[in-house]
Amino acid sequence: MTAAFAIDVQNLTKSYSNKTVVRDFSIQVEYGQIYGFLGPNGSGKTTTIRMLCGLLKPDSGTGTCLGFDILGDSHRIKAQAGYMTQHFSLYEDLSIIENLDFTARLYFVKNRPEMVKKTLERLGLAKRCNQLAGQLSGGWKQRLALAACILHKPKLLLLDEPTAGVDPKARREFWDEIHQLASEGMTVLVSTHYMDEAERCHKIAYISYGDLLIKGTVPDVIAASGLTTWLATGDNLNGLAKELEGLPGVEQIAPFGRTLHISGGNAKLLAKTLTPFQKKSKFIWEKGTPNLEDVFVQMTGKTNGFK
């Protein structure tokens, strides 16, 4: 019997040396869903992902992954998961095809030569199959790492900041493949610091120093933040930014080319503060829409370390 959710966990908690890394974390992830995890460095994202799939045992909490208990059936979950670490972890002195053949042996893949060939073709690696992994660029190493993760046809794919140091074209191609895998039924958990990548997830969760602060679709998360953003366009934005810094209601100031984004959580207070500037200013003012980066900065500012 298939479980209602690919992942369904309640109140997961994990501590190291009396420091709580994840606190009372609960979440439900649907099959075929791409779920993104955002948060500052060291906020517990990787620990959370590892607990969700049984790779790490929580101190407390319960739940299932792919229908298996995360506490008692972790070995079954691992057999159906692919884990792509942030740093390239395959053998650099082996060729692409040798790395994939070795991985296939580890997972006891049936029809191994055929599956390796199909995976090479799917990820565009066939023409480079005899090239040493250590000679590959970051983008091609990323493709090889993903190939190794999906070779045994897992139901769950775990990606820990998978595109760090990869150029925009390679990142886009990578995410196109991730969406294709999800459309075929694979569930994907991904931690990222790239806001454009987070926006490509079906749902996201923001974790800050052990606490789950907010979760949902990107539009829902932005709406729930309560942020209001105003845009000022013109010259000498640096001077305007210095004048606004620290004023009531002004929580964020960020330049984007010739436009300054000014945001705050109290819409009335922010409007009151900006009104004098809008009346006498040579800048063009207009009401803007907060983006996910604005929300990320706001959430990060609200928390400043482990409890």
* Domains of the chain with bracketed CATH: 7-222 (3.40.50.300), 228-289 (3.30.70)
Closest CA relative to residue 82, chosen from 170, 28, 160, 197: 160
pLDDT of residue 302: 61
Q: Is the pLDDT of residue 159 over 50?
A: yes
Across the range 89-115, mean pLDDT stands at 94
Q: Is the pLDDT of residue 172 over 50?
A: yes
Q: Is the pLDDT of residue 1 over 60?
A: no
Q: Average pLDDT, whole number, for the chain?
A: 90
- Residue range 13-35, pLDDT digits in tens: 999 988 899 999 999 999 999 99
How many beta carbons lie within 10 A of that of residue 82, not counting itself? 25
pLDDT of residue 305: 46
Burial class, 158, CB count within 10 angstroms (exposed 0-12 / middle 13-18 / buried 19+): buried
- Residue range 45-81, pLDDT digits in tens: 889 988 988 889 999 999 999 999 999 999 999 999 9
pLDDT of residue 17: 87
Output the pTM of the full model: 0.88
Q: Is the pLDDT of residue 89 over 60?
A: yes
For residue 303, name the pLDDT band (cuts at 50, 70, 90): low
DSSP letters for the chain: ---SSSEEEEEEEEEETTEEEEEEEEEEE-TT-EEEEE--TTSSHHHHHHHHTTSS--SEEEEEETTEETTT-HHHHHHTEEEE-SS--S-TTSBHHHHHHHHHHHTT-TTHHHHHHHHHHHTT-GGGTTSBGGGS-HHHHHHHHHHHHHTT--SEEEEESTTTT--HHHHHHHHHHHHHHHHTT-EEEEE-S-HHHHTTSSEEEEEETTEEEEEE-HHHHHHHHT-EEEEEESS-HHHHHHHHTT-TT--EEEEETTEEEEEES-HHHHHHHHHHHHHH-SSEEEEE---HHHHHHHHHHH--S--
pLDDT of residue 249: 94
- Residue range 224-242, pLDDT digits in tens: 888 999 999 998 899 999 9
Q: Is the pLDDT of residue 255 over 80?
A: yes
pLDDT of residue 2: 60
Residue with more model confidence, 171 or 203: 203
